[in-house]
Structure 1
């Protein structure tokens, strides 16, 4: 297949548009990076007889995957942190390790992570960075996404200094991302790692700059105990590791969700990650404020923090996407692996179709991009991927896809109609 065709009819044995039923022997008319028509291959070839045609043969063609939460600059930490122990032990080890890492490590990690995303069929990513080193490889790869600048700070006296530094870092990210499909946002790390004055300053900055935001929220029982009571392993182990010995916020028996609401951070622009420990009143707050969620079931299992109430989130109508988190708390950056794990974890309570939707249209929705990507629909951008799978079960095409799909079967990915990944030997 020629990499740079302005107009092309792309056909495959199976088409999974996501927003409409699966189509046998389907295809797309792509013109100038936009999907202009979707239908049976034979009809497209007949109606647009003068346009170039590329047939992917026995393959499944679907929207490009959206990894709604990761930290690419931590890819090199794979296997170096404790597995299955306490969240606080893991977080303390991570803090100690990060203090030993430099820009070269982060750059190499981000490059390796970007390559892993490309090979797995990801075309859009929400990445959190402290170093800014993930922008260059993502830009070079031609991927779409949001790069979130992380901010932490437990000392209330340093809130102004921290927010000023974050603004400068955001400006740098925007400059680096210019000319790409990458935008920038802010990531207050977590309710327990920012002082209350800094949380308030983050909310003000986000409103002023109209930026998207993401935050790790209600991830562990330790977080809930610390925010609500000011005690527990975070207070006794994690805070001393960063030089703090007292709670960084006003303790008043509230939940992490309630704390963020009081700080003015809950909004339609916020993507909350994990959401493992969310009660009924918290869920109502998230719904009222229009907050989106990114689920990371394998990371939660790795850190032994519990299981997020995903069926409740889906039933509530919240926007829900799927992420892998980083290789500091996961085995791979494959959303196929993530979907399969979640399918086993939740059993019949979450269907294969719901999971594939979370990894495509759901991911686009949580990033505010559902109008542009996430489904194969006329008028949307031609962000898509194809896997070398020539047989799907008519009765359960999504379950059949999940049982077979893997990174190694991805043969092609496009962003804006341009090839960003083509498996060696798969050229047509």
Structure 2
């Protein structure tokens, strides 16, 4: 059955904005996109849904932890990253599989209700794959490898990862997430990546998130070294007194970085690090609000923009972010770019592209984050102030302005042609 979704402005993202535009949906695919009058005339009698907002592709969240949705109170701790992660780790044993699944389900619903239709989700407990798969949300779930040295990896960690990959439910793509250089020994990190590549899976580590991580990788010291030593983990970087490298440089030396990888955070990346990421085809997933809450620093978004580095945008989890609303995250990242001195006329468009095409590129989702004939019918419509008379070319700015002020509202989310959220 065909449906015509129309709106005062349609933003295909991969093409120019369309005033009084429409998207013809046939089943779960986009059949056509263009001016409403032309599509309506070409398809007389087609059912039409008219949305009083800006119609966009479904947003693509490049980094999240859906299972930590119910850890929301941790985002108000006011503690730096090393303290925060110890608090999160200490709380984990209090959750059952049923609780993890319900937390992840709530996270999915928050994303769908705010216009996100695909997500790169880090999965620490494989039980949450089932509710995520049932939701139909797009993207990839990355099974996490964390707190592993050579001994624990050989005793159980490696087998556990292989078993989880083999048991992953149908209907949800999976990948592998070696957590960070400070929680995964170098040899283990390399082996987890090798397993993923042997199976043709994508890889999504955390990279250069905090100053403590940079210190650990360079010197083998600091709070993370103390945590690993206290846990009895035999880590090469502690043994060797560090690598003398940045986290990006260290992972590149291990052979981790490549076009099948996208990296969360990438806050502490200098010009040489950013060049390595570009050369290896690695998309950063920038999460500015989480970085601010965890006192981790500011991602150099203005430099990424000036240097032509592709990137996506992630919310991280509610444990370290004020919301899972990707449009709000994009608005915060735009403000950071401005504060860092980027004032080019393309700023608003490029930030919105990062929240759509950027996330799709990070996960190699060939047809996500855009509205194109033959592509998935994943759509969102946003009500914003001042829509009447708005020049379609100004819609990128208007969307981000509204999100920055909390004045936007997701009217509808369409996932694979099906309405999965509709505002009252």
- Determine whether 1:367 maps to 2:363: yes
| CA 1:392–1:260: 2 relative to 1, 3 Å | farther
- Determine whether 1:229 maps to 2:219: yes
Q: What is aligned with 1:42?
A: 37
How far, CA to CA, are the matches of 1:314 and 1:138 in structure 2?
Answer: 33
- The equivalences for 1:93-112 within 5 A come to 93-112=87-106
Cα offset, 1:135, TM superposition = 2.4
Q: TM-score normalised to the size of structure 2?
A: 0.91
Cα offset, 1:357, TM superposition = 1.1
How far, CA to CA, are the matches of 1:284 and 1:110 in structure 2?
Answer: 35
- The equivalences for 1:371-390 within 5 A come to 371-389=366-384, 390=387
How far, CA to CA, are the matches of 1:379 and 1:20 in structure 2?
Answer: 15
Q: Which residue, out of 327, 349, 356, partners 1:353?
A: 349
Cα offset, 1:61, TM superposition = 0.6
Unpaired stretches in structure 1, ≥5 consecutive residues: 1-5
Cα offset, 1:249, TM superposition = 6.7
How far, CA to CA, are the matches of 2:33 and 2:239 in structure 1?
Answer: 53
How far, CA to CA, are the matches of 1:417 and 1:303 in structure 2?
Answer: 38
Q: What is aligned with 1:22?
A: 17
How far, CA to CA, are the matches of 2:17 and 2:204 in structure 1?
Answer: 33
Report which stretch shifted further, 326-335 or 388-397: 388-397
Q: What is aligned with 1:145?
A: 139
How far, CA to CA, are the matches of 2:148 and 2:133 in structure 1?
Answer: 33
Could you tell me whether the CA contact under 8 Å between 1:295 and 1:322 is conserved in 2?
yes
Q: What is aligned with 2:116?
A: 122
What SS does the corresponding residue of 1:192 show, helix, strand or coil? coil
How far, CA to CA, are the matches of 1:296 and 1:100 in structure 2?
Answer: 27
Cα offset, 1:328, TM superposition = 1.1
- Determine whether 1:59 maps to 2:24: no
Cα offset, 1:141, TM superposition = 2.4
| CA 1:245–1:266: 2 relative to 1, 3 Å | closer
What SS does the corresponding residue of 2:130 show, helix, strand or coil? helix
What SS does the corresponding residue of 2:245 show, helix, strand or coil? coil
Report which stretch shifted further, 395-404 or 274-283: 395-404
How far, CA to CA, are the matches of 2:324 and 2:217 in structure 1?
Answer: 30
Cα offset, 1:213, TM superposition = 0.8
How far, CA to CA, are the matches of 2:54 and 2:185 in structure 1?
Answer: 48
Report which stretch shifted further, 405-414 or 325-334: 405-414
| CA 1:262–1:76: 2 relative to 1, 3 Å | same
Q: TM-score normalised to the size of structure 1?
A: 0.90
Q: What is aligned with 1:8?
A: 3
| CA 1:166–1:392: 2 relative to 1, 3 Å | farther
How far, CA to CA, are the matches of 2:109 and 2:407 in structure 1?
Answer: 11
Q: Which residue, out of 399, 402, 418, partners 1:401?
A: 399
How far, CA to CA, are the matches of 2:164 and 2:280 in structure 1?
Answer: 28
Unpaired stretches in structure 2, ≥5 consecutive residues: none
Q: What is aligned with 2:419?
A: 419
Cα offset, 1:384, TM superposition = 0.7
What SS does the corresponding residue of 2:60 show, helix, strand or coil? strand
Q: What CA RMSD, in Å, does the superposition of the two structures yield over aligned residues?
A: 2.0
How far, CA to CA, are the matches of 1:421 and 1:116 in structure 2?
Answer: 10
How far, CA to CA, are the matches of 1:214 and 1:375 in structure 2?
Answer: 23
- Residue deviations 1:241-291, cap 9 Å, x none? 533476457423111112211222111111100000012222222122111
What SS does the corresponding residue of 2:112 show, helix, strand or coil? helix
- The equivalences for 1:150-165 within 5 A come to 150-160=144-154, 161-165=156-160
Q: Which residue, out of 288, 310, 316, partners 2:301?
A: 310
Q: May I ask how many residue pairs the two structures share in their alignment?
A: 411
- The equivalences for 1:254-403 within 5 A come to 254-347=245-338, 349=342, 351-369=347-365, 371-389=366-384, 390-391=387-388, 393-394=390-391, 396-403=394-401
Could you tell me whether the CA contact under 8 Å between 1:150 and 1:187 is conserved in 2?
yes
- Residue deviations 1:120-177, cap 9 Å, x none? 011111111111233233233221111110011342223333122111111222xx2x
What SS does the corresponding residue of 1:99 show, helix, strand or coil? helix
Cα offset, 1:67, TM superposition = 1.0
Cα offset, 1:345, TM superposition = 2.0
| CA 1:57–1:90: 2 relative to 1, 3 Å | closer
| CA 1:245–1:84: 2 relative to 1, 3 Å | farther
Cα offset, 1:201, TM superposition = 0.8
| CA 1:147–1:256: 2 relative to 1, 3 Å | same
Could you tell me whether the CA contact under 8 Å between 1:159 and 1:197 is conserved in 2?
no
